[in-house]
Structure 1
Amino acid sequence: MSIGNEEDAITVSGVEKRFGWGVRAFKALDGLSLGVPQGCVYGLLGPNGAGKSTLLRIIAGLVRPDRGSVSIFGENAGRESRRRLGMLIEAPAFYPFLTAREHLDMFARMNESATMVEPILRRVGIGYAADKKVAAFSLGMKQRLGIGCALVGRPDAIVLDEPTNGLDPDGILEMRSLIVDLAQRDGITVLLSSHLLDEVERVCERVAILRSGRMAAHGKVAGLLDGQARFWINVDSPQTVLERLASRADAGDGGVYVRIGRDDAPELIRALVNANIRIFEAKWITPDLESVFLSETRREPQ
């Protein structure tokens, strides 16, 4: 399956990766392809063991794929093209005896971006602790510093693995605002992996749901949710409706769920009214991302 085009910030094509040998070998990625469009926030979802972390490591150059390829802004992933990426993969590790400012200064010297240090300290919300040693930082503060280090090289795209890990509710709100701001104001492409589905639904324009190293579902969040919307009606004679619609209807939540396209809903309502069935309420019920995630990840592989 080919997904993506030359305008994507990150393109993954047919990537496979096994760990181990012989009968004990584990296939973490099984011919996975996806494309991350430029300038959007793209969520990478999946249960534990789905291959998310392996994919991010391959994009970052920390793991080599057995087969397939990765391109970054149209160029084969390599040392030079990866300079356009800022990356925070898994839990960030720092020198405990250095301060936040010293860490950013170190990365800034490597990227010749010394003027970025102060703005980034403020932007990731640790300006007040800029001169404290990292040994005294909480997990959430380290997460913020890690994102700061990923931004100091002025990347065109940033890869974040669980960016809200360790943050309190206020911190999650601030991180959500930062991620959206990076895409909308700065035009930075954001690829993030997260288990907080509600946050992903709020900040991501597109998502990919992985299952057993393969693509289970992908697309715009609004499209995925709308694609699993169900039409529900509350009528005075639900049994009559169930018999009339047969395999297209199921009882539920005090009414009847009907498997029907949006364009067919008005005709259905007209037909029921003409059959002297009183309709008290009719509405489309759109699931949240958690419902879609569970539906796709619990489905038996093809």
Structure 2
Amino acid sequence: MRILVTGGAGFIGSEYVRMLLGVPGGSCEGVPALEPARVTVLDALTYSGNRANLAPVADDPRLRFVHGDIRHADVVDEVVAGHDVIVHFAAESHVDRSIAGAAPFVSTNVLGTQTLLDAALRHHVGRFVHVSTDEVYGSIDAGSWTEDWPLTPNSPYSASKAGSDLLALAYHRTHGMDVVVTRCSNNYGPYQFPEKVIPLFVTNLLDGGTVPLYGDGGNVRDWLHVHDHCRGVALVQQKGRAGEVYHIGGGTELSNKELTARLLDACGAGWEQVVPVADRKGHDRRYSLDITKISQELGYAPSITLDDGLADTVRWYRDNRSWWQPLKAESAR
């Protein structure tokens, strides 16, 4: 099997690549034996893409890295040819950045996905796994979203992802392409770029700094370890039904204030290091995914508890300053 992973040098994509290639600790019970003959990574290496994320598999002869942008049709056409499966992680994904400027999100997430879909159709790729987010649903006060819930995104980021989801599903309905869509809850774990809330808070606290808490801290998110997310994507790649959407969740909801308390405790810090800030524009109050479908159809269940996952994540950032300190220094310029 020849698998193309877009965004494979990013946080989630690189975890998927490490898992596919069987890095110790990168695979576990419950991951389908996909046994790729070749894994190609296509990544534009924007600020959040990092070749160092692939260091554990850099010498694997099955791995090929291509530095390229999914918006560039000629590059995409050349890379897609000869692959059996595309697993599409590549996206602009930071909500605050999308509020400051939406254009890169529309061009990458919508037009880039369309470029990939066209190439996959042209080259008769066997399966296209489109990786998306729970943010396409907007906000939910009570209960949990099922896969047939209407899409009501509230940020430019989530609107661009909703558009790409609809495009991917349209290629299934129009052209009969073997497309499946996954939507996940908030990811955390090693190698996450330190602009996202958990690595931002952990790295700031490890340096004795302060952390910002939006509004009243009451916004609620479900937390999913990146490895459980990739296990779910692997199950969908192997056994998901064409034309379907599958939710991948972690099963633990916390308010931002509750999450902050856990991170303060894990880093040996106190509330004096928390700085209240004005709430984000259009800040969704609560996300919650119903994972009944993927659990019953494909046998998915999260395997990493939030307590264990957060402890391991804090330990990883504490032990890998050489990975994150240059990234924070560069982004501060």
TM over 0.5: no
Q: Greater share of strand residues, 1 or 2?
A: 1
In terms of Rg, which structure is larger? 1
Normalising by the residue count of structure 1, what TM-score does the alignment of the two structures yield? 0.28
Normalising by the residue count of structure 2, what TM-score does the alignment of the two structures yield? 0.27
